[in-house]
Chains A and B, each alone.
Chain A
Amino acid sequence: MTTESTEPAGSAGPAGPAGSAGTAGTAGASGGARAWLRERSELGVCVLLFALGVLVLTDALTMDVDIAQRGPIGPRTVPFVVGAGLLLVGALLAVDVLRGGRGEAEGGEDVDLDEPADWRTVLLLTGVFLAAAVLIGPLGFPIAGALLFWGAAYALGSRHYDRDPLIAAGLSLFTYFVFDNLLGVPLPGGPLMGVL
């Protein structure tokens, strides 16, 4: 299995997390090291793969298997193979990146790769989603779900303060009844359903 570069460097959409395709080139000698790293931010993926490999191997090594062994292959073998594979792939990918290989960012119907990544939106969405995860217990699904939809639509740039909450509430209640009554998948009603 040899490494192969997918793309000639530079043709792979935005080159850095902040879309530094242009800035990396103009940074000059002053920010040389940073620009170099930014251009090769994919090395972070290699580090993560490597760390994951170490994690899997450590977990396999610390397993207490004497009692559990059944058959010629115990529960440790496959984790060993996967862990070693992760280390190897992390290293090979690093070589590929240093040689100029770049993963091609995925396109799509609504994806505009020419614009720099909008981290604010991603962070907002992550926050809204986590908030919904926390609130679903105390507030119940209908309210937490509506907040999730409204919050996500807001984060994505919708500013219709009259229409958005109504759609959110309608969608959330509709889903609640479909799942709870029609499909028989229980969702927590929360205090709101207690009142109704």
Chain B
Amino acid sequence: MSFNRGLKNFTTDFKVAHFLAWREIKRANIWTTILISFVMTLTFLNLIVVSGILVGLIQGSEEANKVKYTSDVIISTPKQKNYINRSNSLLQAIEATPEVQDYTARYLESVVVEAGYRERTNPTDLLDRSGGSLAGIDPQAEDSVTGLSKYLVEGLYLEPNDYDKILIGSDLLFKYNPVESPGFSLLKNVEAGSKVRLRIGDLVREVTIKGVLKAKVSGIDQRIFMNQSQVRQLIGRSDYNVDEIAIKLFDPKQADNVRDQLVRQGFAENAVIQTWLDAQPKFLKDIKLTFALIGNMIGTIGLVVASITIFIVIFVNAITRRRYIGIMKGIGISRRAIEFSYIAQSIFYAVLGMAVGSLIVFFLLKPYFDLHPIDFPFSDGILVAEPLGTLIRSVILFVATIIAGYVPARIVVKQNTLDAILGR
């Protein structure tokens, strides 16, 4: 009986609060409503966009590493080995796996690139040198898996019958990576068409730079690419054992499954088999966590600012209507109904701000950043705004708004009724 009466009172308070709040909002100054909603929208954007871009910087780097270098599954040489033993059987197994769309095999060898030797007048002058990794590839297979040809910033892509021609990563060229630092050597005055020397152990070979690659991925920007048939000759690899295989799947979600299939077939004895996520460098994961933390800290500050804004707005509103609050109490309107009405007004502003903010995030900013990523030196930054994360932040903002609306209303409603009516 008591519970029913309590429920009835609660329902009545709620109805009266709705009645009061809706009319307050409807008849409020339109510019005040727009201003408060604008503040709420900015707060929402601050919560979502700041952390979204910080995380997006790293996620952009992760995505690039996956798309441009590792693809869905990456198989590499174990540390204690020189190459992947039984590569042929592994490649046959990969071809026989139905989930595999395409793959590319790479031969890798350390190489020193030398430039400026034609221009030097004294044989004792030091040469421009840079160290990197020589990757022997099948240009068509590599392009099919990683889209390597798309990352050319100069020159042309490799043809299958090219000989003594290379593609060079932009990190090895001073032109694209102008860092002057002791112990860090880059090639100066080198571009597409330049002749350079490759030094592999005691072997030296002059080649022509056919193109320059820039992908913001170290697996491309710090490598030299050459047709694999010539690399095999240069490094004396006659057994066709490769060093690295990148596999593209029809469904990227099957990466774990394909990795496990290959491990079950015993290939893990001779190779490191990883999904793109397994192969992700630990520092990237750490930076992602750190950036998310920084984003949340900035978002929290934004949340506090928004709460204070709502508090001030509702407090000023309640203080200027203190007399009317007193009258309402005087004629028998319950405290709870009055407090609810102010909370309902706060909720209205919060929901309006979040709705406008969501529209801006999902229909304007996210599509824009997907099409025009932010050009950072180490990645193309995108805006990460997952629906679940957005929902959680919205709930936090919603709760903060309710509290910020309730507290000032409570302070004013608690004042003496007669003093409020008489303005004392």
Instruction: Verify that A and B bind, or say they do not.
Output: no
Binding site for A on B (CB under 8 A): none
A residues contacting B by CB (< 8 A) are: none
